[in-house]
Structure 1
Amino acid sequence: MAVNAWLSLLVAGVMETGWAIGLKYTEGFSRLVPSVITIALMAGSFYFLSKSLSDLPIGTAYAVWTGIGAVGTVILGMYLFGESRDLLRILCLLLIISGIVGLKMVSAD
């Protein structure tokens, strides 16, 4: 069922955001607990991405997965690490989000 595939893809994207942020905390995989959590999130992200591929085209799923991860990582980077919140940066995020929504809208369910 396509709904479950999209839900799996959403979970995969959120987990991708988690492992991308986790990399910052691993300090080059020299800290045990953040490293274990980051690796678990990586594995979970790939697992849920692979589950979504049973019903979704690979190109769409991969683009949406990376888009969710990119947007989530940038937003958390702003919040957690004080990264730039410039208007142009926000507009670029909105372009990525519009691409994700567009791919969802044109993908056959």
Structure 2
Amino acid sequence: MNMNWLKVIIAAVIEVFWVIGLKHAYDFWTWTGTVIAIIISFYLMIMAGKKLPVGTVYAVFVGLGTTGTTFADIVFFGEPFQMVKILLIAILLTGVIGLKLVTKDNIKEGAES
């Protein structure tokens, strides 16, 4: 795995925190943390998108973020566990992984390519 895909994965993990923050932030500091997480997450995704196919980067970012957010809701916030939800996330991840596998990592030297 190259460093650009690692940026996408880290951005998706941080996305889980800012999505949770959007729902649970209640004061200046929690909102500040949420905004900082948004900035870092999107910065990493944008930097990876400069070197990797942007459509695939976005699909992986959203797919991993959705999965992480759903699991965090179940584990930390008491959202009811539903097998159909897990099945749909598995289908989503299968599509994201498939998209990643069929996309060539044509690392570009600059954004002009």
3-state DSSP of counterpart to 1:52: helix
1:53-99, CA deviations, whole angstroms, 9 ceiling, x for partnerless residues?
A: 12211111111111111111000000111112111111011111111
What's 1:59 paired with? 55
TM-score for both structures, normalised by structure 1: 0.90
Q: Are 1:44 and 2:43 counterparts?
A: no
Runs of 4+ displaced beyond 2 Å: none
1:26-66, CA deviations, whole angstroms, 9 ceiling, x for partnerless residues?
A: 14xxx111111100000001100011012211111111111
How many residues matched?
105
TM-score for both structures, normalised by structure 2: 0.87
CA distance in 2, matches of 1:15, 1:96: 19
| Unmatched 5+ stretches in structure 1 | none
Which AA in structure 1 matches 2:60?
A: V
Which AA in structure 2 matches 1:75?
A: F
What's 1:12 paired with? 11
- Structure number with larger C-alpha Rg: 2
Q: Which structure features the higher share of helix residues? A: 1
- RMSD, aligned CA: 1.2
Matched-pair identity in %: 34
What's 2:24 paired with? 25
Contact 1:60 1:103 in 2 (8 A): yes
Q: Are 1:71 and 2:63 counterparts?
A: no
2-11 or 39-48, which deviates more? 2-11
Contact 1:5 1:54 in 2 (8 A): no
3-state DSSP of counterpart to 2:20: helix
